[in-house]
Structure 1
């Protein structure tokens, strides 16, 4: 609940959300017809429909009434709402309650007034239907009855309109469909607008809250967030609820600076302004895009603002404008992700493996190869793993992708066996893959199908820190090692490298990352670090493989330091299977000679 509101006022403000800001142009026209009909049936010169917010009475429809908005102070409609009853004043200029009202003593000089509150099904007065005259007069019982009937019709019309899909059921704010309609139907031709999106609460946290405490708790929090924003921003911009915890603001360009400033202030205050019986982490992130009316594709505007919001979330920055370059990158990434899914699902051509040889450093004999995935995309050409693997890692695609790599590697090992090439192939596996309950069963099935043994396929563990922190993944690795599979830890010496991981992760081989190797030729400190790292790993009974060997001098240093294995461009770049076989034949010949 918001700290500054009591429960009744909060509920009334939620009721106002259904009406005050959400009546569209078509409904306003219908309400105008109702005021015209009311004036005619009751034989009154003026009729109006008002709804109320914190400070003002908004005239949503009128017939022959000069004002467009009224302050609450001194307004007869406000008195009607407060009493929650039909009010008839035959001569306001003689009534002690109203004779000093600015609308009686001044423009439009009301003398006669009859008004009735518009009451929601929940019992909250949110506005009035009233008739006025500028001379004193009486009001019969039949006229009173007719005014009540007309008010019931008006309220039913408004609530029916709000019940057919343009209002968010939780926050009672207009929803995404209404936003699109408002952008499409805007009559402010050639005016510049800004669409602002904001995220207020982490979606994952919402799901966890729903799972633990139920949806009513979630909905209560979302209502309070919506109310907090409306109380702070509604006088500056139209507010929409477009998804759970996400809101949109549609403002004219000249109001942009002021509205964004208000939003930044809201970001500072939202955590302290909303109370709950559970801990809440409320944090506002904002993304926005500019456009001009008319707009042919409102959905594009919404997508651009969403792109800016996601940039803000990704960069942990409160406010981000739309950037076309970032948007194009994300669209390309999304295309790649969908095409990758389609390729795996339907076995389309494009994905293939290359193999980089691994050699014993002292003998220069080939001891195996690392299988590396590549993708020849039909539109974008050659796509390297660092462009599509990170996309797949956050989706369900990692399972079929790794499965594809293992199957292709196993088939290639079998082909090589049949041609007399006897080497093992290692594949890269993420923590997500190792955590799969049936990984070992699937692996054994692949080996049986290709008539291979546990010595033919090896595993290189990526994301070592995440593996140590994932008990399911760690258990799988231990089982694989116990069954005799060769296990390597990849990229030692970068990012999350920690000696404690070595004690907790079962492995045979530690791969030194190329970042440790690349400066050995010219930098003494690098050589000292590599030498002592190799010595330490040997004392812990690991084999050591150095990646990224690119010159003879580096190779010689590694030989001096008793590094066991190596791979790098000095020996060979990754090669497709046929080229690998040709390279291997030439290499063996050179070794024998």
Structure 2
């Protein structure tokens, strides 16, 4: 089974859909059951309430009917005695009932199936319901239930009762047994249960149907959403989120795979298409390139990491890596044609291999991207990330974390290396060289951290800090009678910043700094700069007496451009050409040519990296102006430099005296 098949088994969409359908089904079933239960409860309560109202109305009608019947009878006629005693038979009810009233000062109790035992219990209960009974009229009269019905419970049964006033017989008490609850239990609840069963049965099938439809709709939406989240909009290939997700779950793929490989592929020349022909043409071309890559790589995960970078994740072996390299070296489609735009893709590859037992996704991607950057910078086609690269990145990351605090804690210090005039044998200045006095790592040299600062947010702050330290030291030396010209390294980006250049101008305007005390050594940068603006700033500084020299001349692509377009006082030949000029004819030729070129343009020449007297003599013979290197002195602290200047000047004076004597 292929690697790509295994990696896609991590997620089972059918299982997800099945689980979703089950949750929706049970959710709807629970809702249906709750509705059915509420239906039964509410139906029962409604039936009971309706029954109460119906029986109360019936009780009221019976009370009126009984009173009207009593008033129709002749109370003085003995013929009506039986009618009086059975007056309860006139009640229109099937329930147990009783009528109690006063006839000729005597209480008459007429009962219809209501036992005397129950009546003897009911009457005291009725009497206690309203403690405001009027005993002058009769003992059971209740204002509360006058022309209204009330309910009293006795021996587990409920009875409706009400008092209706008659002009002839006074208050007439009518009692009826309340048995609607039993009726509701016997008749209503079974019917409700039947209805609820039908509702639940319909709910089950409805829930199943709704769950089926909704789960498919939601699953479809989830798949669409997942596709857009984990795939590139233009190429439709898996994106960087997909790659990160797969790297986190790579242990779930196949236990037999021990080493994996990640290749980052950059389309180096695609950005020029957008600037010339627009975004639409660029996206169409990227889609075609992506399709070609995907069609020609089998058994691997092919994705789109960023706008112009693809990736290939695969089970690592040398043969497969070689196949991938050959694909981009001999790309199947040499040119693409979109809207009459011919595009010939140029690729760079960065490779990183890793094992499944110890890695982090960020480290894997970072390593591959680092190798890709190196491949693009050196135009080497393909670069493989090594353990040494990993250690370097880890070191850089650790140093990066400490950079902000380094300025706050004043961990950066300046050392100074003397510059010697080859003509007059005197110290004509010093170069300020930065050192990082790290609290844990000790002294760190600039080649280990300068590139980190140039690509960080503290670059401007760092340059200003170096300038402040140099200016502070210049003034401190001046207070001791030492007048020394200090050269500081400044990048074109810093000079292009008006804040920095205005800061230097303000120091001269305020008298804090004298014109001849500082020199700017212009460093080489990776990217192009605005030469016109840079030239304008340097002309302003030159007008107030600040000299500018080109540092590391000959190593960068912009050195000759600087020499042509900006006001340059001197060129500084890089030590890589000077250190071996006594044994390397090529270095000697380059150094000699540079000196002649500078002299031709009216610039002074500074050579750094003088290690011995032979090189010093060769430079002097070729009319180099100033020398700097370990032949004279290593970089010194401020106090050490003061002592060195004193000793050097004293030695020169003694040499002059000896020369005069001779």
So what's the TM-score if we normalise by structure 2?
A: 0.59
Q: 1:106 aligns to what?
A: none
CA distance in 1, matches of 2:557, 2:473: 33
Q: CA deviation at 1:315?
A: 4.3
CA distance in 2, matches of 1:465, 1:174: 33
1:178 aligns with 2:242: yes
SS in 1 for 2:435: strand
Are residues 356 and 211 of structure 1, via their aligned partners in 2, closer, same or farther at CA, if it must alter by over 3 Å? same
Q: 2:314 aligns to what?
A: 251
- Mapped contact 1:351–1:373 kept (Cα < 8 A): yes
Q: How does 1:402-421 map to 2 (within 5 A)?
A: 402-421=463-482
CA distance in 1, matches of 2:587, 2:225: 70
1:189 aligns with 2:267: no
Q: 1:161 aligns to what?
A: 223
Q: CA deviation at 1:150?
A: 5.5
CA distance in 2, matches of 1:446, 1:160: 64
Q: CA deviation at 1:574?
A: 1.2
Q: 1:375 aligns to what?
A: 436
CA distance in 2, matches of 1:524, 1:261: 44
- Mapped contact 1:198–1:284 kept (Cα < 8 A): no
Q: 1:340 aligns to what?
A: 403
1:199 aligns with 2:265: yes
CA distance in 2, matches of 1:231, 1:557: 63
Deviations 1:199-244 (A, max 9, x none): 2324x954x76677765555444443433333333x5223333333
- Mapped contact 2:232–2:304 kept (Cα < 8 A): no
1:351 aligns with 2:409: no
Are residues 439 and 470 of structure 1, via their aligned partners in 2, closer, same or farther at CA, if it must alter by over 3 Å? same
CA distance in 2, matches of 1:183, 1:502: 51
SS in 2 for 1:358: strand
- Mapped contact 1:546–1:566 kept (Cα < 8 A): yes
Are residues 499 and 403 of structure 1, via their aligned partners in 2, closer, same or farther at CA, if it must alter by over 3 Å? closer
Among 568, 572, 577, the alignment partner of 1:511 is 572
- Mapped contact 1:435–1:473 kept (Cα < 8 A): yes
Give the aligned length.
462
Q: CA deviation at 1:417?
A: 0.9
Deviations 1:362-386 (A, max 9, x none): 4333222111111223343322222
Q: CA deviation at 1:387?
A: 2.5
CA distance in 2, matches of 1:552, 1:192: 59
Q: 2:634 aligns to what?
A: 573
Q: 1:489 aligns to what?
A: 550
Q: How does 1:30-49 map to 2 (within 5 A)?
A: 30-31=16-17
Are residues 222 and 28 of structure 1, via their aligned partners in 2, closer, same or farther at CA, if it must alter by over 3 Å? farther
- Mapped contact 1:240–1:249 kept (Cα < 8 A): yes
Q: How does 1:401-440 map to 2 (within 5 A)?
A: 401-440=462-501
Q: How does 1:387-466 map to 2 (within 5 A)?
A: 387-447=448-508, 451-463=512-524
Q: CA deviation at 1:457?
A: 1.0
SS in 2 for 1:269: coil
Among 227, 230, 241, the alignment partner of 2:291 is 227
- Mapped contact 1:350–1:375 kept (Cα < 8 A): yes
Q: CA deviation at 1:172?
A: 3.2
The structure carrying a bigger helix percent of its residues is 2
Higher Cα Rg: structure 1 or 2?
2
Q: CA deviation at 1:29?
A: 1.4
- Mapped contact 2:281–2:338 kept (Cα < 8 A): no
Q: 1:109 aligns to what?
A: none
Are residues 263 and 31 of structure 1, via their aligned partners in 2, closer, same or farther at CA, if it must alter by over 3 Å? farther
CA distance in 1, matches of 2:620, 2:609: 15
Q: CA deviation at 1:412?
A: 0.7
CA distance in 1, matches of 2:506, 2:619: 39
- Mapped contact 2:232–2:238 kept (Cα < 8 A): no
Are residues 553 and 200 of structure 1, via their aligned partners in 2, closer, same or farther at CA, if it must alter by over 3 Å? closer
Structure 2: which 5+ residue stretches go unaligned? 24-207, 655-662
Q: 1:474 aligns to what?
A: 535
- Mapped contact 2:520–2:549 kept (Cα < 8 A): yes
